[in-house]
C-alpha cells in the first residue's frame, strides 16, 4: 500500500486524486480548494471531500464491471467488451481513490476527537465502513488493521476477510454509539447526503450492518439490524446530481451518454430478459413495464439497440444515485426472515417494497403511471401453482425467496451489491438462484484481481495471487 494512502494526505490532494474524470461532480465551494494554499484542513471541509470520494466510488468503473459480471449490463466495445469476456489483469484495477478516501474517513475521526465532536466522528466511521466493505467484497482479504499508518506499517498485512467483516461490525457499532450522543457539532452545510441529520446516518449504519450480516449468513443479526435501519424512502442515502457537464452530472450518464456511448448497453444482458419475462407472465398482481422503461430505452446509440435510459430515466444527468436505501433494507429483512423460516414476516417486508414501487418511487425519482402495478402478495401466491411462483418451486419459502432475490437483482441495477448477491446465492441455504447465463467461457467471475501497484510494493499480497475466477472466502 502506497504511502499516499496515509493520513497526511490533505483534502486538496484527495480532490486531485478523486477527480480522475476531470469532473468536479459537485459544485460546492467548500469542496473546492487551492492545492498550493492548503496546508491543513478543518474537519468540516474534510467531511465534504470525503463524502465526494464515497459518492464517486459508488458510481465508478468498478461498479460497471460488477454490473457486467452480475449479468445486468453488457460490455459491447473497447475495454468493456473485454470485461464482458471476463478478460482482466491486475492492471485493470486500482486502490486509488478507494484507500485514500478511506484514509480521509479515518482522519475525520481523529480531527473530530480533537474537538470532542462525536457526531462527525460517527459519520466518518460509517464512511470508512462503506469503503472498506467495498474493498473486501470485491477483493476478499484486504489491508484494514494496518491500513492507515504508513510510518508504522509501510506494507500492511492483508487481513483475513472474516476478520475484516468482524472489524467492520465493530466500526459500525462505534459509529452508532457516537451518533447516539446527546450533542455534537452541526455539519449540515457539508453533508450533501443527509443534510446533517444524525438520526438518518445512524439508521444507515444499521442498514449497512444488516447488509454485512446477510453476506456472512447471520440472518438473525441481519433481521435485528435491519429492523432498526432505514425506515422509509426519506432515509435513502442518495448522491445528488445536476445538469452541468464536468461539475455535477450523474457519473453513469457521463459514461453512458457523453464519454463512452455504445461501450456498454443492455443488448444480450440478462436483466432486461428477466424483466420482460415478468412483464409477459401470468402474474396479474405485477406489471414492471414502467420500471423497464425507466431503466432501458431503445435506439439511442444505434437503431434497435437497448440502451441505458439517459433521457428521462434512471441514468439521466440529474438522477440521484443510491448508496444505501430503504428498499435494500426491507429486502434484506425479507430475505433474512424467509431464510429463517418466517414467511409471514418476510412477506410483510417484501410487500413494503412493492407498495413503494406501486407509488412510483425509486431512488429519488418517480416512475410513470403507465405499466406500473405492484399489488400486495399473499402467501397463497407462492404456492406451487401460485401466480408469484413462475418456476413452480416446491415450497412457499423457496418460491418467496426466488421473488425476493429477483426483486433485489432488479432494484440493485448499477449497485455492486447485485454482484455480491449473485456470488452469495451460490452458498446461501436454502439454495435459490437466478439462471443468469455466462457471457463467455465456462466460469463466472468471482472477484477483482489485486492491483498491480499493490503487487509491486507490498510483499504481504496473498500468494499465489488469486485470479478472477477464485471465490472470495465469505462466499466459498
The model's pLDDT over 281-304, given as tens digits with 9 standing for 90+, comes to 999 999 999 999 999 999 999 999
The fold of the 1-57+97-217 domain, in CATH, is: 1.25.40
Q: Quick one: what percent of the chain has pLDDT higher than 90?
A: 89
Maximum alpha-carbon separation in the chain: 69
Mean pLDDT of 9-22: 37
DSSP-assigned letter for residue 296: E
Q: Residue 297 pairs with which residues in a beta bridge?
A: 307
Out of 23-37, 170-184, 221-235, 461-475, pick the least confident. Answer: 23-37
Mean pLDDT of 308-319: 98
Kindly report the pTM of this predicted structure.
0.93
Rounded Cα distance, 131 and 110, in Å: 17
Is the pLDDT score of 27 beyond 50?
no
pLDDT at residue 1, as a whole number = 58
Is the pLDDT score of 33 beyond 90?
no
Residues 6+ apart with CB under 8 A from 448: 62, 65, 88, 93, 138, 139, 468
Mean pLDDT of 305-309: 98
Is the pLDDT score of 41 beyond 50?
yes
CA torsion sign for 158, 159, 162, 168 is negative
Is the pLDDT score of 190 beyond 90?
yes
Out of 35-49, 256-270, 377-391, pick the least confident. Answer: 35-49
Rounded Cα distance, 148 and 106, in Å: 8
Quickly state the pLDDT bin for 6 (edges 50, 70, 90). very low
The fold of the 232-254+268-441 domain, in CATH, is: 1.25.40
pLDDT at residue 246, as a whole number = 84
Delimiting residues of CATH 1.25.40.900 domain(s) in the chain: 232-254+268-441
Is the pLDDT score of 159 beyond 80?
yes
Mean pLDDT of 202-210: 99
pLDDT at residue 247, as a whole number = 87
CA distances from 90 to 78, 95, 398, 452, 465 (A): 18, 11, 39, 5, 10
Mean pLDDT of 69-73: 98
Is the pLDDT score of 309 beyond 60?
yes
Delimiting residues of CATH 1.25.40.390 domain(s) in the chain: 1-57+97-217
Amino acid at each position: 500500500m502506497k504511502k499516499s494512502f496515509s493520513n497526511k494526505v490533505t483534502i486538496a490532494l484527495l480532490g486531485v486524486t478523486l477527480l480522475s474524470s476531470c469532473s468536479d461532480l459537485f459544485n460546492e465551494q467548500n469542496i473546492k480548494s487551492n492545492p498550493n494554499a492548503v496546508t491543513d484542513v478543518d474537519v468540516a471541509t474534510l467531511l465534504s471531500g470525503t463524502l465526494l470520494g464515497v459518492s464517486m466510488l459508488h458510481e465508478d468503473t468498478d461498479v460497471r464491471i460488477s454490473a457486467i459480471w452480475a449479468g445486468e449490463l453488457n460490455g459491447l466495445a473497447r475495454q468493456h467488451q473485454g470485461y464482458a469476456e471476463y478478460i482482466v489483469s491486475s492492471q485493470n484495477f486500482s486502490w486509488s481513490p478507494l484507500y485514500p478516501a478511506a484514509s480521509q474517513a479515518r482522519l475525520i475521526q481523529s480531527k473530530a476527537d480533537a474537538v470532542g465532536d462525536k457526531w462527525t466522528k460517527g459519520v466518518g466511521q460509517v464512511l470508512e465502513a462503506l469503503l472498506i466493505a467495498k474493498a473486501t467484497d470485491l477483493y476478499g482479504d484486504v489491508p484494514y488493521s494496518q491500513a492507515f499508518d504508513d510510518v508504522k506499517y509501510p506494507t500492511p498485512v492483508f487481513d483475513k476477510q472474516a476478520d475484516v467483516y468482524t472489524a467492520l461490525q465493530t466500526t459500525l457499532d462505534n459509529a452508532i454509539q457516537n451518533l447516539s450522543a446527546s450533542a455534537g457539532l452541526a455539519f449540515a452545510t457539508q453533508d450533501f447526503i443527509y443534510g446533517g441529520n444524525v438520526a438518518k446516518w445512524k439508521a444507515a449504519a444499521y442498514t449497512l450492518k444488516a447488509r454485512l450480516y446477510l453476506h456472512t449468513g447471520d440472518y438473525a443479526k441481519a433481521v435485528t439490524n435491519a429492523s432498526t435501519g432505514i425506515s422509509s424512502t426519506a432515509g435513502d442515502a442518495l448522491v445528488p446530481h445536476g445538469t452541468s457537464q464536468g461539475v455535477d452530472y450523474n457519473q453513469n450518464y457521463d459514461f453512458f451518454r457523453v464519454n463512452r456511448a455504445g461501450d456498454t448497453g443492455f443488448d444480450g444482458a440478462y436483466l432486461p430478459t428477466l424483466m420482460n419475462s415478468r412483464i409477459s407472465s401470468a402474474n396479474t398482481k405485477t406489471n414492471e413495464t414502467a420500471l423497464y422503461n425507466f431503466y432501458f430505452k431503445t435506439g439511442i446509440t444505434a437503431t434497435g439497440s437497448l440502451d441505458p435510459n439517459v433521457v428521462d430515466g434512471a441514468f439521466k444527468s440529474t438522477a440521484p444515485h443510491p448508496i444505501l436505501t430503504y428498499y435494500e433494507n426491507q429486502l434484506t429483512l425479507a430475505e433474512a426472515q424467509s431464510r429463517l423460516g418466517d414467511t409471514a414476516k418476510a412477506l410483510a417486508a417484501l410487500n413494503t417494497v412493492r407498495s413503494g414501487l406501486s407509488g412510483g418511487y425509486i431512488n429519488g425519482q418517480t416512475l410513470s403511471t403507465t405499466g406500473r402495478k405492484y399489488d400486495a402478495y399473499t402467501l397463497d401466491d407462492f404456492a406451487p401453482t401460485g401466480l408469484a411462483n413462475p418456476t413452480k418451486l416446491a415450497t412457499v419459502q423457496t418460491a418467496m425467496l426466488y421473488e425476493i432475490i429477483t426483486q433485489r437483482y432488479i432494484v440493485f441495477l448499477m449497485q455492486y451489491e447485485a454482484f455480491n448477491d449473485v456470488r452469495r446465492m451460490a452458498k446461501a441455504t436454502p439454495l435459490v438462484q437466478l439462471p443468469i447465463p455466462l457471457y463467455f467461457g465456462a466460469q463466472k467471475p468471482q472477484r477483482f484481481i489485486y492491483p498491480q501497484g499493490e503487487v509491486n510494493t507490498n510483499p504481504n499480497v496473498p500468494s499465489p495471487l488469486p485470479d478472477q475466477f477464485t471465490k472470495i472466502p465469505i462466499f466459498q
